[in-house]
Amino acid sequence: MRTSIFYILLPALLFSSCFKEIDTVAQLKSTEEVFTSQHNISRNVTFFKIYPNTTQEVSNKSLGGWDMAFQSAEEGDNVLVNYTVSAKVIKTGTSNFSEVNKETVNTLFNSDEWKFNDPAYSNIKDSIGLKSWEDKEVYLVNRGSASLPEEAYYKIQFVSKTPESYTFKYAHVESTGEIEKTINRTSSLANVYFSFTENAVVEHEPNINEWDFYLAPYFGWFETLTAGEYSPYNMTGAMINNEGGVRIAQVFDGGIDYNSIDLTMAHSLTYTDWKGAIGSTWKKIPSTENPIYLMDTDKKYVIELDDGNYYKLRFLDYYLDGKQGFPSFEINAIK
């Protein structure tokens, strides 16, 4: 159970890292058998697929290309707003769509009831901002850091749902009209993504059986120095394809060497389908005295794929040619 020290969603800038990108020498890597992301994790969403002898990038997407994500392949009806750009939502207190306008934005702008989606908890219904959106209340959506100020606020309202589809209506907050859309579910995607700008479903993630994890920025719950207390923070990390059968065992015992993790140990571990099981815990937050991201060498992970094979993972670095945001990681098949 998470507890939070506050839940006031201030502008994302307040939670951005106060440390500038620095030009420094990357840490020495302990092995050459590593994969280094070629896309800055704070500006891209990059999907990866694990194979017995290698890990490959499947696709890369820039931020801000979607506004709503509808759960599709697996059982459930979760709907998310874009966590990679710190989007947030709030109930307006009315079911009258036409009543919600720019004045509503001004009234609710400083409210502490704005909610966001931490993707780490996106498979936990009570943790998502739109968990009750079927109540027919109108919600305001702040589209986050990727949108222009004049395009930042939209209103949405649930209309109906079937086992095969979702129907909702939406409009820019200053529009006098409304647009009704139906989103059809598909078994080939974990989520179907919709863009207000495009007024259409857009491509974001690969087919459900073509990726195992992604690296991305996200606005989520960061554990404070007080154990068990969490605060909203802009982070970068890894989310697993739990919908595609990926499971994780965390091996955080500093006394266990990465190279000693074998099949016997893998079979003895406890695995979770928690989407944020890898998350951002593999790097240490820098200090003002030493503003360099160091890897937490105690954090190791065993990955169980849907085909029954096991792999071990550790992160080795966060820099490429002296620039931060390019994780290097090692993944080895456990045989």
Per-residue confidence of the chain (335 residues) as pLDDT tens digits?
343 333 333 333 333 333 333 334 444 443 446 889 999 999 999 999 999 888 999 999 999 999 999 999 999 899 999 999 999 999 999 999 999 999 999 999 999 999 988 888 866 665 678 888 888 999 999 999 988 888 999 999 999 999 999 999 999 999 999 999 999 999 999 999 999 999 999 999 999 999 999 999 998 777 776 777 777 778 899 999 999 999 999 999 999 999 999 999 999 999 999 999 999 989 987 778 888 899 999 999 999 999 999 999 999 999 999 999 999 999 999 98
Rounded to a whole number of angstroms, the distance between the first and last alpha carbons of the chain is: 35
Predicted confidence at residue 1, as pLDDT, reads 39
Residue with tokens 């990108």: 21
Predicted confidence at residue 263, as pLDDT, reads 98
Beta strands 200-202 and 191-195 are: antiparallel
Beta strands 300-304 and 294-295 are: unpaired
What is the spatial distance between Cα 183 and Cα 193, in angstroms, rounded to a whole number? 9
Q: Taking Cα atoms as reference points, which of 291, 304, 223, 228 lies closest to residue 261? A: 304
Write down the domain spans for the chain.
3-62+208-334, 68-202
Contact 293, 318 (CB under 8 A): yes
Quick one: residue 146, left, alpha or beta (phi over 0 = left, psi -120 to 50 = alpha)?
Answer: alpha
What the block records as the tokens of 57 is: 């990038």
Task: Give the side-chain half-sphere CA count within 13 A for 61.
Answer: 19
Predicted confidence at residue 108, as pLDDT, reads 97
Predicted confidence at residue 326, as pLDDT, reads 96
Predicted confidence at residue 125, as pLDDT, reads 60
Predicted confidence at residue 119, as pLDDT, reads 87
Q: In what order do the strands lie in the sheet with 54-62?
A: 3-4, 229-240, 213-223, 44-51, 54-62
